[in-house]
Each structure stands twice: as C-alpha cells, then as structure tokens.
Structure 1
Amino acid sequence: MSGGTATPEPGDGASIPRPSVPAGRGLDPLTARRRFITVSFLFWLPIGMSIATGVLLFTDRGMGLAAIAGFFAVHSLTAAAMELPTGGLSDVIGRRTVLATAGLLNCTAFTLFGLAGATWAITLGMALMGCARALSSGPAEAWYVDTVHAHAGPDADLRTGLARGGSAMSAALALGTLLGGGLPWLLGLGPGVGEWLTDATGGLVIPLSVPALLGALVEIVFVLYVLSALPEPPRPRVTLRGVLGGVPAAIGAGLRLGGQDAVIRRLLLTASTTGAALAAVELLTPRRAAALMGTAESGALLFAGLACAGFVCSALGSQLGPLAARLTRSSGRAVLTGRGVLVLGLALLGLTTGSTSTLATAAAATGFGLVYLGLGVAAPNANDLLHRRVDASGRATALSVQSLALQLVAAAAGLTVGILPLGPLPWLLVAAIVLGGALLWVRRTDGGPQEPAPARPVPAGSTPER
C-alpha cells in the first residue's frame, strides 16, 4: 500500500508545490474517523433536503420541465469540468480550505434557490452547486486517509472508516429527504402558516423553499466545523500564479492514472458503470412512481419514500463492506460481490416494468433496495483499493478522476435512457453495462492485504501497471 509522504518525482506533475507532511499528524485514527463521519453527514444533509422539493420548487417558481432539465445539465457539466482542476487544488492548498469553499458555494446556491425565482439566479445556483460538488469529491476522504497513515502507518485499516463515512452520507441523504419532503407539508397543516410566510416575505419565501434555506444554515455549520475540526500541517507557501500554472500538470497526472495502473483502470471503469446505474434509477424511477400512483404529486411522495429507503440500504451496504472483504478475502472480490447485487437489482426493476400487480411492485421495490445495497457494499472496498495505489500528494486528484468518470458516463447514459422507449429495455441495457464492469474483477489481483502491494510508495500518475 502506498501511503508515503514523498513528493512527486520529476515529470509526474511536480510543478505544483506539494506538502511533505501528511495531514492531521496529531489525531488518532478513532478521532479522525469521528470527524470524517461528521463532515460527511453535514455536507450531504442539505443536499438530501433538496431532493424531495427541488423540482417542485422550480415548477412553483414558474419554470417548465425543459428549463428544469437545463438547470440540472448546468450542474452536471460544471461538476464534470471542474473535477480534475479542483482535485489538484486540494492536493496543493489543503483539504480544509477546499472543503470550506465547497460549503460556502453550496450555502450561496441554497440561498438563491430559496429566495430567487429568476432563471439566471437558479442557473447560477446550479453552477455553484456543481462547482461545490467537484470541490468536495475528494478532500474529506483524502484528509482522513492522510491522518490515519500519519498516525498508524501505510498498512492501517481504511475500510472501516471509509464504510462509516459512506453510511453517514447515506444517513444524511435519507434524513434530509424526509425533512425536505416533510417541512412544506407540516407548514401546510397549520391554519394559514404557509400563506402567512409567503405574504410576510413578499413571496420570496414559500413553504417549498424552506428546506433550501434551512440547508443554507446547515452549510454554515459545516464550514465552521471543517475550519475547526480538520487540522492540517503548514503547507508550502504558494502564489496564485504557481497554483494556476500547476493545475494542468495535476490534470495530466490524473488522466494518466488509468493508463498506467491496471487496478486504477478497473476502478475508473467500475465508477463509470455506477454512473450509468444511477442515471437510470434517477431518471426512470420518478416517472414509474407517478404512473403507479396515478398523479405526479402522489408519485413524488412515493419517490421520496423510495429514495429514503434506498439511502438506508446504501448505509447498510457500506457497513457490510468490510465484512464482505473479510469473507471474500479480497477487496476486489468484495467489489465484485457488490456489483453482482447491483446487477440483480437492476434486472428486477427491468423485468417488473409495466406490471402493477402486488408481486411485481414488491419485486421492483426489492430491486430498488438491492441497487443501493450493492453500491454501498462496493464503494468502501473500491476506495480502499484506490488509496493503496496512490500517495498523499495525489490522493484527492485520484478521487476526482474517479468522480469525473462517474459523472461523464451518467450524463451520457441519462441522455440515452431518455430517448429509449419505456419498458424493460433501458433497465436491462444498463444492467448489462454494469455486469460488464463487474466481470473486470473476476480472477484479478487487487493489491489488497492478502496480495502483494507495490514495493514502494508510488506518487499519483506514476504507478506501474501490474
């Protein structure tokens, strides 16, 4: 496992100043784990709150479906465009600074969603949220891994902490979905409370916008916690010119990761198939729920319940991830197990499409849960493998490359699924794609604890293929 603190060698992106000391040397692994879990929960709670009401809020503001689709496209494209540059930025100026910046951007975005109804304001908010998503895709996890390595060495267990962080993220999304869907409903129960709120603010605040504004307040708490609870050692002083000049080298190193290391290449391909699965679930499930319930409003309520249950299954899967690795004696085989569960879930969703019988509905709900359970089992094991292949100088960049692969394929899969006829075909096509990615892990070495790891710490972008 490469967990050293060596700076990059010439020719592998060394033009960006890199820290020579891992983050948080004074924290023990248990404390670092608790703080990583808290950061994961606080970051994803406001996002969960926006899931149930986001589309309804924009609709109430007078936006059509085409405009809303455009808003989400702005978010996805911004996140994809910013992934590698912001990953390299975290490796240069520090995890804490980048995480706090992500929180401030999200705070601004949620404020715009809650108060503004103009198209330009919502577009700006989605762009800021996409940038925050890119900024947040690696720093917290990279800080946790650096801290554990600094205290316990490069052979320390990472799966448990990564699994707990994934569970915290899923729990935050589940709780946030319930809060986001329940608050407007509760405001509507009181005699005239919703109308009073709208009148008192001149229409700026409506019941559907309350979750977004509450999310902005949570983001402030997130920023304060990050700044106070994630210590990092002093980093080399860098100028703006030095940072900007080094970003292209960091991007190049990130893009070379998959080409130079077979394990990382499989991880990136696995992440891309995850993007296809999530795109199908997020695009097709709400429409299916509305068709089952008969109205869009009832379908939205059903989807909120399904999403919450899915996040709970994902949290359970994350907790089972280390056990799966122990039982299969390999992180790679645990990834294969999780992907197999995911394929089974997608197949159930596809085979039950078009039927409204009780048995088919129960099978579809089971398939939905299996999708998220499989994702939860595979994620901590996949990231454990990734962290064994890169060192602290490029860890956040590697996580950004992984996230980039997921988002790009998710965008392409979403467009493809959207033009296919409704029925089993989209589901089964995505299931076949995920199955192809899962087969990459059959009879493959993964560099896990039971198999030889690289002989020396390997900076990101220069890991030899095995």
Structure 2
Amino acid sequence: MNGPSLDASAARRRYVTVCALFWLPLGLTIAPLILLFSARGMSMAAIAGFLAAHSLTAAALELPTGGLSDVLGRRAVLAAAGLLDLTALTLQALGTTPWLLGIGAALMGAGRALSSGPAEAWYVDTVQAHAGPGADLRTGLARGSSATSAALAAGTLLGGALPWLLGLGPDLGARLVEATSGVVLPLSVPLLLGAVVELAFVSYVWTALPEPPRPAATLRDVLRDVPATVTAGLRLGGRDALVRRVLLGAGAVGSAVAAVELLLPGRAAALTGTSESGAVLFAALACAGFVCAGLGSRLAPLTARLVGGGERAVLAGLGGGACGLFLLGVTSASTGMLPAVLAVAGYGLLYLGLGSAGPSQNEALHRRVDGSGRATALSVQSLATQLAGALAGLVVGVLPPGPLPWVLGGIALLSAALLWVRPAPARAPTAPEAALRPRAGHRAGP
C-alpha cells in the first residue's frame, strides 16, 4: 500500500492549518463560557459539573475513539469531531437549562476525544511515509503546537472582546437579547462564531488530508479491531517506563490547567466588577498565556539542544510551569501592583513551561509506537489529561478560595517534572511498537 504523496513540508503546512482551525473555536469560548453559564443562573457547583461532564466524557471515549482512528482513518474521525463540536457550541450558546448545557459539555468532550490523536497521527504517518522512520518530527510538532497556541490566543482575545463591543453601542446588547427573547446573550455570540468556524474545519479536513487507501471497514472490522488496539494501548502505558512518564506528565498538566480555567475567570470578574469587563481582562490574560505557550513550543527544539536532550527539556518546562502556579497561589489573596505583576508573571511562566515541554514529550512517545497504534497512544495520553482535569476540577469547585487550589496544581506539576530527573531506562523501540501492532489479518493502520 502506498503512503500519502505529500512531502514533509506540505504535510507540515496542512497539519499547522488543521491545528489552527480546530482550536480557534475553543479559543472563542474560553473567555465568555463560564461567565455565560453564570449569566444563565448556574451556580459554581453546576459549572464545575459541566466541566466535569466534558472531561469525563472525553476520558471515557479517548481509547475507543483513538482505536477508531487507527481502524477507519484519520480524516473521517477528525470530520466527525468537528461536527460534534459544532453541535456542542450551538447548544452551549443557546441553552438556558442545566440539562441542555450539560449535553453541550458532554458533546464537546466527545469531540475532544475524537480529535485528540488523528491530526498528529496523520502528520507523523505522512512524514515517515515520505522520509522514513528517522524523519525529524519535533519541528513539525512544535509548529503545530505553536499554531494551536496562536489560534487559542486569537480566539480568546476575540471571544472576550465581542461581548464587550456589543455593549458599547446604545443598548446594542439589550436589543440583541430582546430580539432573540433572551436566548442569545452578548456572551453567546463568540460561541456561535465558533460554530461557523467548525464548518470551515470540517470542509478543510475532508479535502486537504489525503490518506493511503484503506480496505473498506465493516462494522465487524471496527468492533474487532478497536478493542484490540485499545488493549494494546493500555499495555503500552504499563510496560514502558518512558511512556508512563509521559502519561503522568499529561495528568499533571490536566490538573494544573483545570484549576486555572475554573478559577481565573472569576478572579478577573471580581477585579473589574462586571462579567463583560471581566471577560475582556480574562481574554487578555489567556491570550498572553497562549502566546507564551506558542513561544515555548516554537523554542522547544532549541531548548532541547541547549539543555542536553528532550528529557531534560521536559524537566525544565514542567518545573518552570510549577513555579508559575506557585506564584499564582501566593498572590491569590493579595491586592496591589506588585502581587498583580507577580501573578501575571506566574501565569506567563506556567504556559511558557507547558509549551516548551509538550513537543519533547510527544516526540518521545512517537519514537515508541508505529503508525498502526499511534492515534491510540495519543488517546491514552489525552485520557490521562482529561481524567485528571475532571477530578481536579471537581476538587477545586469545593475548595475554599485562596492559595490552596493553585498550590495543589503546582505540586502536581512539580511531581511530574521530578520524574525526568534521571534518564528513562533504555529500551529498543521495536518492543513497544510491536505491542501496538494489530494481529495478523487485522486491517488497522495505514
């Protein structure tokens, strides 16, 4: 079977575009979403429940949908993810009851599960088909991560600014609410714009990501092959020490990000006095954070060279992120210029560190698996992030305000960083690759 005809440069450009289109709608929701839930009359406990529904749905579906991508193909699964996200964004933008908002959160989690591995797996498959298994991966992964951060930054800035701009005109926001019988609020508009972007994402994925021809997959093929790749993916996490470090690091990142996403919007709204102005401030902060993450990702290859390898780059990145969360924690109960400056510095350091560590972690993971199980392995990684994020969000939702939630996230990141102090035990890549290779006669993989 012949591989995709794209060369490495073309594959990298298309991978970067897919990353940007997929994450832009999510960026549009970051600033207004929690504030929109509050405007609908939802309590903080209910909001934490919505976030948990998102994360737990994603966690439950990560491995089955990762295996589905390895069986049916990357393009079809990515397109399905876009359609689920479109539906979820529409429900969250227009929903006024807890059950509708909860369904929207769960559908968004399902879309996240479907999307967690196929695009990156498609990129690695395509590059290795063109240049062989020794092809450079870190550069493309770093650029994709930078594109993700740039899309999140732009989306967050726009998503925070739109509700505020709607309120600048004479009663413009009020007229919008009245014209739609209260269903569309100014805070809803960024989510509806995100739904439009999802249409563009689905169209691009379907036309721009060629895959090698696959045998037609029947329902029996899917039911047979998906459980096999899921089981192999779980075995990989148990057998390989380096992969275990990647998974534990993913869980720590999920815990840290969950704390930030749940706590920071309210902190910004309390500082400014209103939801709309709080969304603008949070959007600016989130935009700066994603810029820092993109910069860290872009510099990941250089960081690895400077510190002496990818494992040390992960140590430095996660350790720096932990320091950033500690700064956010110690300033959470303080007011004044100096605490504000330290909090902003800590926020930037957190995302700079996470962005720097990500490409090196993922390159290490890709060196351990082959194309037949690559999306499954990425789904195991995303499973760790989502499950830890859901649990951390529930804990943060019931903790008293103050330094404790931030400090707990910092401890999680620091613990993950310390796992990389010593080099991982050497192991030939063929062993774990074989663990993910389907049995003879199976049709999984390109």
**In structure 2, C-alpha distance between the alignment counterparts of 1:198 and 1:273, rounded to whole Å:** 40
1:272 aligns with 2:247: no
Amino acid at match of 1:99: L
Percent identity (aligned): 65
- 2:429 aligns with one of 437, 454, 458: 454
Assess if the C-alpha contact under 8 Å between 1:385 and 1:446 holds in 2: no
Assess if the C-alpha contact under 8 Å between 1:393 and 1:460 holds in 2: no
Assess if the C-alpha contact under 8 Å between 1:353 and 1:424 holds in 2: yes
**Per-residue CA shift, 1:315-338, capped at 9, x if unaligned?**
111001111111123111111111
Residues 117, 289 of structure 1: CA spacing in aligned structure 2 closer, same or farther, 3 A cutoff? closer
Aligned ranges 1:166-245 → 2 under 5 Å:
166-245=145-224
What's the counterpart of residue 15 of structure 2? 36
**In structure 1, C-alpha distance between the alignment counterparts of 2:279 and 2:172, rounded to whole Å:** 23
**In structure 2, C-alpha distance between the alignment counterparts of 1:382 and 1:339, rounded to whole Å:** 11
Residues 157, 436 of structure 1: CA spacing in aligned structure 2 closer, same or farther, 3 A cutoff? same
1:70 aligns with 2:45: no
Instruction: Name the SS for the 1:459 alignment partner.
Output: helix
Deviation at 1:416, TM superposition (A): 3.0
Amino acid at match of 1:208: L
Residues 258, 39 of structure 1: CA spacing in aligned structure 2 closer, same or farther, 3 A cutoff? same
Deviation at 1:293, TM superposition (A): 4.0
Residues 184, 424 of structure 1: CA spacing in aligned structure 2 closer, same or farther, 3 A cutoff? closer
Instruction: Name the SS for the 1:191 alignment partner.
Output: coil
Residues 64, 441 of structure 1: CA spacing in aligned structure 2 closer, same or farther, 3 A cutoff? closer
What's the counterpart of residue 106 of structure 1? 85
Residues 330, 309 of structure 1: CA spacing in aligned structure 2 closer, same or farther, 3 A cutoff? same
What's the counterpart of residue 35 of structure 2? 56
Amino acid at match of 1:459: A
**Per-residue CA shift, 1:324-365, capped at 9, x if unaligned?**
111123111111111121122122222333221322221111
Deviation at 1:219, TM superposition (A): 0.4
What's the counterpart of residue 365 of structure 1? 344
Deviation at 1:456, TM superposition (A): 7.2
Assess if the C-alpha contact under 8 Å between 1:292 and 1:356 holds in 2: no
What's the counterpart of residue 427 of structure 1? 406
**Per-residue CA shift, 1:44-77, capped at 9, x if unaligned?**
1111111111123233334344433322222111
Q: CA RMSD in A?
A: 2.2
Unaligned runs of 5+ in 2: 438-446
What's the counterpart of residue 306 of structure 1? 285
**In structure 2, C-alpha distance between the alignment counterparts of 1:176 and 1:106, rounded to whole Å:** 15
Instruction: Name the SS for the 2:299 alignment partner.
Output: helix
Assess if the C-alpha contact under 8 Å between 1:32 and 1:144 holds in 2: yes
Assess if the C-alpha contact under 8 Å between 1:106 and 1:129 holds in 2: yes
Assess if the C-alpha contact under 8 Å between 1:258 and 1:264 holds in 2: yes
Residues 455, 185 of structure 1: CA spacing in aligned structure 2 closer, same or farther, 3 A cutoff? closer
Residues 116, 421 of structure 1: CA spacing in aligned structure 2 closer, same or farther, 3 A cutoff? closer
**In structure 2, C-alpha distance between the alignment counterparts of 1:52 and 1:410, rounded to whole Å:** 18
Assess if the C-alpha contact under 8 Å between 2:53 and 2:105 holds in 1: yes
Deviation at 1:116, TM superposition (A): 3.6
- 2:369 aligns with one of 370, 383, 390: 390
Residues 202, 101 of structure 1: CA spacing in aligned structure 2 closer, same or farther, 3 A cutoff? same
Assess if the C-alpha contact under 8 Å between 1:41 and 1:171 holds in 2: yes
Aligned ranges 1:221-370 → 2 under 5 Å:
221-293=200-272, 297-370=276-349
What's the counterpart of residue 357 of structure 2? 378
Instruction: Name the SS for the 1:458 alignment partner.
Output: helix
- 1:441 aligns with one of 394, 399, 420: 420
**In structure 1, C-alpha distance between the alignment counterparts of 2:77 and 2:363, rounded to whole Å:** 22
Deviation at 1:277, TM superposition (A): 1.4
What's the counterpart of residue 80 of structure 1? 59
Instruction: Name the SS for the 1:269 alignment partner.
Output: helix
**In structure 2, C-alpha distance between the alignment counterparts of 1:94 and 1:187, rounded to whole Å:** 42
Moved more, 366-375 or 118-127: 118-127
**In structure 1, C-alpha distance between the alignment counterparts of 2:329 and 2:352, rounded to whole Å:** 17
1:152 aligns with 2:128: no
Unaligned runs of 5+ in 1: 1-19
**TM-score normalised by the chain length of structure 1:** 0.88
Instruction: Name the SS for the 1:26 alignment partner.
Output: coil
**TM-score normalised by the chain length of structure 2:** 0.92
Aligned ranges 1:86-125 → 2 under 5 Å:
86-125=65-104
**Per-residue CA shift, 1:270-325, capped at 9, x if unaligned?**
11111121122223333433444455554443222211111111011100111111
Assess if the C-alpha contact under 8 Å between 2:303 and 2:313 holds in 1: yes
What's the counterpart of residue 410 of structure 1? 389
Amino acid at match of 2:310: S
Assess if the C-alpha contact under 8 Å between 2:20 and 2:150 holds in 1: yes
Residues 370, 83 of structure 1: CA spacing in aligned structure 2 closer, same or farther, 3 A cutoff? same
**In structure 2, C-alpha distance between the alignment counterparts of 1:162 and 1:267, rounded to whole Å:** 16
Assess if the C-alpha contact under 8 Å between 1:341 and 1:370 holds in 2: yes
**In structure 2, C-alpha distance between the alignment counterparts of 1:293 and 1:149, rounded to whole Å:** 50
Instruction: Name the SS for the 1:417 alignment partner.
Output: helix
**In structure 2, C-alpha distance between the alignment counterparts of 1:133 and 1:100, rounded to whole Å:** 12
**In structure 2, C-alpha distance between the alignment counterparts of 1:280 and 1:75, rounded to whole Å:** 15
**In structure 1, C-alpha distance between the alignment counterparts of 2:403 and 2:239, rounded to whole Å:** 38
